[in-house]
Amino acid sequence: MIDFERVPSVKKSFRQSSLDTLGQLGTTKKMKIPLELIGRGTDASDNQTLRRKAKKKLVTNKVVLPLIDYARSKGNEDMVRSLWNTYHCQERLILSENIMHGVYCKNRICTVCNGNRKAEMINKYLPIVETWSDPHFITLTAKSCFANQLYDRMRNTKRAFKIIADIIKKRHQRGKGPKLVAIKSLECNFNPYKRTYNPHFHILVPSIEVAEIVLQEWLRTWTGKYAQLIAQKIRKVEDRERDLIEVVKYGSKILTEPNPNNKIERRKITRRVYIAALYNILRAMRGLRLTDTYGFELPKSKTKTKSVTVFDYDELSYDMEMMDWVNEDTGETLSNYEPDPELLHILNKNIETELC
Ligand SMILES: [Zn+2]
């Protein structure tokens, strides 16, 4: 069932360094080919981090396989290729002195990569948000739509904000309004009861004044036919980091509440994964930048991509059955992660492939 031929070899990503260095290997226990590894790698000394990573890898792989089947049934070979990369994301790890290196797929559906991306975004944006005197969190949405309208709606949603940003900018240049400063991301929910999709923005702005202007212009741009005041939200930010995470996390939840509007039911029924809906959302978001910033510059990043040559290392590969990375020489597992029963139930029984 696994179509390895379509996937680029993971091995070639670890660049082999000059064999001249072999002469220095006198003290290593076992002769290995020296490897030049790109990037700083990840700390492998903290078991909690390793277990979290194993959980993300499990969720991703369990969801990606049926998604691949679905994408293939739609004839979307581009998506099939990209999903296979995700299936093989971090499949092989090189572990040396408690630092591990592996190849990331960097796809949106990948929860392993999204964890990294989230950490990077927080490092980048939190220092900016910390300088804001009275940050507010806005949720902007327009009427939900069906799957066949989603591709266009996603683009129109982005276009609507661009119109708003231009209006606010021009007004500010004329000295008649505040500057638009914001961090914004596009997300999309799926409602399995109504089978509708709801693209929406989460936006952080530095003041209530900016929040209210953005909201007013949003309602004006969409008109009452598509956007009602009652569906939009503005609230004061109490915890800057928590709300920044809310903005920069990935655009669609993999696990969906069966009925997002019914709080009682939400507690009783476990969550599900809707493959066709995820496919539709991924397809509609393809090629779109989900996070945009307005009105501030980030300090230039000075960190260069480093590389390190390792001589003594372990090679691990991910094993779906073990739900963990396994040392290829010793058979030892890396994280000893054990999923909780609810998650296993969702991943084994609650993946819906039909509904869309
Ligand atoms: Zn990945």
Q: What is the pLDDT along the chain (356 residues), one digit of tens a residue?
A: 333 334 334 444 444 433 333 334 444 455 688 888 888 888 899 999 999 999 999 999 999 999 999 999 999 999 999 999 999 999 999 999 999 999 999 998 999 998 888 888 999 999 999 999 999 999 999 999 999 999 999 999 999 999 999 999 999 999 999 999 999 999 999 998 899 999 999 999 999 999 999 999 999 999 888 888 888 999 999 999 999 998 987 655 666 655 545 554 445 556 788 899 999 999 999 999 999 999 998 877 766 778 889 999 999 999 999 999 999 999 999 999 999 888 888 888 888 876 55
Residue 72 sits in the same domain as residue 205:
no
DSSP 8-state class, residue 256: B
pLDDT given for residue 223 in this prediction? 87
Same domain, 133 and 265: yes
Task: Check residue 20 and give its pLDDT.
Answer: 36
Structure tokens at 263: 């709080």
Last residue of a domain, one of 248, 273, 294: 294
Same domain flag for 181 and 278: yes
- Is the same domain home to 275 and 175? yes
Together in a domain, 237 and 307: no
Are residues 341 and 232 part of one domain? no
Tell me how far the alpha carbon of residue 103 lies from the centroid of ligand 1, in angstroms: 8
CA 108 to ligand 1 center in whole angstroms: 8
Residues 69 and 204 in one domain: no
CA of 110 to the centre of ligand 1 (A): 5
Q: What is the pLDDT of residue 264?
A: 47
pLDDT of residue 30: 56
**140 and 50 in a common domain:** no
Separation of 116 CA from ligand 1 center, angstroms?
9
Q: State whether 287 and 339 are in the same domain.
A: no
What pLDDT is recorded for position 258?
52
Domain count, the chain: 2
Domain end: 294, 310, 338, which one?
294
Q: Starting from the edge strand earliest in sequence, which strands make up the sheet with 196-205, in order? A: 233-236, 136-141, 196-205, 182-191, 291-294
Spell out where 24-147 has E strands.
Answer: 35-38, 42-43, 92-96, 99-101, 136-141
Residue 198 CA, ligand 1 centroid: distance in Å? 25
What pLDDT does 251 receive?
A: 58
Q: Report how far ligand 1's centroid is from the alpha carbon of 128 (Å).
A: 27
Verify that 289 and 318 share a domain, yes or no. Answer: no
- Structural domain containing residue 52: 4-110+302-352
The verdict on pTM exceeding 0.95 is no
CB 252 within 8 A of CB 246: no
Distances from the Cα of 116 to the Cα of 30, 104, 249, 298, 318, angstroms: 32, 10, 10, 19, 19
A 10 A CB-CB count for 277 gives 25
Residue ending a domain, among 246, 275, 294, is 294
Ligand 1 centroid from CA 30, angstroms: 31
Q: Give the pair of three-digit tokens for residue 103.
A: 């190849």
Are 14 and 155 part of one and the same domain? no
User: Ligand 1 centre from 87 Cα, in Å?
Assistant: 8
Q: Same structural domain for residues 290 and 263?
A: yes
